[in-house]
Amino acid sequence: MVDRGVGQSHGKIILMGEHSVVYGYSAIALPLLGIEAVCRIQPASQMVTFDFEDSLSTAVFAALDSLDQLEAKISYEIDSKIPQKRGMGSSAAVSIAAIRAVYAYFEESLSLEKLEMLVHQAEKIAHSNPSGLDAKTCLSDVPIKFSRDTGFARLAVALEAYLVIADSGIQGHTREAVDKVAQFEKTNRPHLAILGNLAEQTELAIKAHNSREVGRLMSLAHKELRAIGVSLPFVDELVEQAIVAGALGAKMSGGGLGGCVIALAATLEDAFMIREKLFEKGAQQVWIEKV
């Protein structure tokens, strides 16, 4: 046992395939290596009280339980730069950081397989039926492709471009959005099929290092996401302004009805210009990640 255990993780964002992934198509998620969550564990005078509706608390419980240390007298704190309910993997990242911190505190080795199992266990308690995509991407340094039929695959190719991620300031409402799409499934099926096809085309464009094509496909995907009713007027405005500012393409990301907008920039200078425009139009936070 050490005086303090520290664990770290990073966020993620969906590049392509939100909503269509629910219907069997593929989705592609990107790790956000510069947007981190750090958890610290230290000694305390009393045992931990757990809140199983809280991702951090649930992850600490899962880690302590796996080590048979539920009666340990510790305290924990989290420093996360990943906003909640924005489709950026906040819950999974916090869980990963917490589990790593607990294991570091007790000086126990932690395999990737064990970490993934504990994160899934914690996420299942807090979120009922997680796909695992958030956890996989928050544990990865390369893009992750996922479908319910074929599982996960790493896409170890860099675009040599820049992704601008803008927080609309509106919490996403994933469950409401998923239910809305399902309510009109027959009408939405053609749009979902197009979204699925766009995700496959995006994978090919990534492998070809074709950032302009990825941007074009992103913009096409946003039109389909608007068509199934999961965007919002303010989100649409941010997407439009990103294009005006020089983005190769832009779209909403995640469950929708709020959340984030992502835009692809060819150069860092372009990314800064897009960031400035999005702040000007009301985005709450804007990050830039090399992809």
Tell me the residue ranges of DSSP E strands in the chain. 5-16, 27-43, 74-80, 144-147, 151-154, 162-167, 249-253, 260-265, 285-290
Are 142 and 248 part of one and the same domain? no
According to the model, what pLDDT value does residue 128 have?
A: 57
Q: Tell which of 96, 131, 153 closes a domain.
A: 153
According to the model, what pLDDT value does residue 3 have?
A: 87
Are 24 and 111 part of one and the same domain? yes
According to the model, what pLDDT value does residue 53 have?
A: 86
Are 17 and 137 part of one and the same domain? yes
Per the CB < 8 A criterion, the answer to whether 220 and 198 are in contact is: yes
According to the model, what pLDDT value does residue 124 have?
A: 84
277-281 mean pLDDT: 98
DSSP designation for 48: P
CA-CA distance, 277 to 62, in Å (whole number)?
43
Are 162 and 145 part of one and the same domain? no
Domains identified in the chain, total number: 2
Q: Can you give the pTM of this predicted structure?
A: 0.94
The predicted-structure confidence for 65-117, as pLDDT tens digits, reads as follows 999 999 999 999 999 999 999 999 999 999 999 999 999 999 999 999 999 99
152-175 mean pLDDT: 92
Are 195 and 81 part of one and the same domain? no
The token duo for 104 is: 């570091």
Residue 12's domain comprises 5-153
Report DSSP letters for 197-227, one per residue.
Answer: HHHHHHHHHHHTT-HHHHHHHHHHHHHHHHH
Q: Tell which of 131, 153, 175 closes a domain.
A: 153
CATH of the domain at 132: 3.30.230.10
